[in-house]
Chains A and B, each alone.
Chain A
């Protein structure tokens, strides 16, 4: 979830940011001291919820909300102000909330429960392509895996369709018959950290499930052509050209099964 906080008073801005972060610890919150920065940030990434001060120089919060809505109709606007006189106008702009300063945690919670355009928490941010080469996209950009083997781990877990693998299994997959078990296990830990970091940079931390020595992906949180193929989704079926994760030799086993099925 992407939240934008705008207030021309730096201390109030920080306070608002902190309060909102406490209510939504998982959200990415960006703060702007003026309308220009706010619009730049909104251009970089779509805003799910915007907390806007109203009395600001240059362009006030009401006007700013119109611009944000123009850019992204789904943006929810919550006004945060010391004055009640703008309430009527705020509602004519289809605001999701009108909160008085100082911001209270409870009020933020209530406002978030009454958004006009509820944010889809389980939105599938990651697009996983298994047919042809294995690739993972966030938006239109590839997910930045620091090392190829971190990506391979992810590919292997996708291949498991939500079932888990343990350290031993992952080592066996990555290094096949290498005997340097201790060294490999150590390296694997670094790769797992890489994988987490890459997912974190796409706000997709929850895709990766790790319980004790068990690793898995949450299949509900990724949009994967192979999974859609298995469900009989036609566009995915058409996407299949007889190749599956072709950079990984272990994937041939699954490819065999797909061929039989096809």
Chain B
């Protein structure tokens, strides 16, 4: 994998394409709302995509009536924040430990984020409450654009 950081804007383009496809697949059941305040900052590649895929696969589409995914970006202090929230079925952390499946996606994303730019990933939510993932990208070391 390419170690060089990529622009958020590029990552967002990929995500938009991906979501457009999922929206075609699932008809009106997948809704997406964008709230992009910042788009010109650098981040490790393939961080945003798996988080959004999780929201579709494990959050929205298992829900009969479907739901909405909110994707936001902004800057606070010297850090950039990306939020991916959904009102899907939510996750049960307890279940992850016992269902026998490998839950590598989020852990892998988190550790790459940490080692590549010192960023963080936080998940909140629970069964019936949807899921909210916040990704923090430190502003230090960002070259312009």
Contact = CB atoms under 8 A, between A and B. Distances in A.
Interface of A: 8-12, 33-34, 57-58
Interface string B10-51: 000000000000001111010000000000000000000000
Nearest to B64: A58
Contact of B64 (A9, A10, A34): A34
A245 B136 CA distance: 85
Contact of A57 (B24, B25, B27, B62): B62
Interface of B: 24-27, 29, 61-64
B24 A11 contact: yes
B31 to A, nearest CB: 15
Contacts of B25: 9-12
Nearest to B63: A57
Given A34-B64, A57-B61, 17 more contacts: A8-B26, A8-B29, A8-B61, A9-B25, A9-B26, A9-B27, A10-B25, A10-B26, A10-B27, A11-B24, A11-B25, A12-B25, A33-B27, A57-B62, A57-B63, A57-B64, A58-B64
B99 to A, nearest CB: 14
B66 to A, nearest CB: 8
13 contacts: A8-B61, A9-B25, A9-B26, A9-B27, A10-B25, A10-B27, A11-B24, A11-B25, A57-B61, A57-B62, A57-B63, A57-B64, A58-B64
The 9 nearest A-B residue pairs measured at CB: A58-B64, A57-B64, A10-B27, A9-B25, A57-B62, A57-B63, A9-B26, A57-B61, A11-B25
Contacts of A8: 26, 29, 61
Contacts of B29: 8
Q: Which of A9, A12, A58 has the most CB of B within 10 A?
A: A9
Contacts of A11: 24-25
A152 to B, nearest CB: 48
Nearest to B27: A10
Contacts of A34: 64
A133 to B, nearest CB: 49
Contacts of A58: 64
A250 B38 CA distance: 88
Contacts of B27: 9-10, 33
A10 B66 CA distance: 14
A33 B29 CA distance: 11
A12 B21 CA distance: 13
A142 to B, nearest CB: 39
Contacts of A57: 61-64
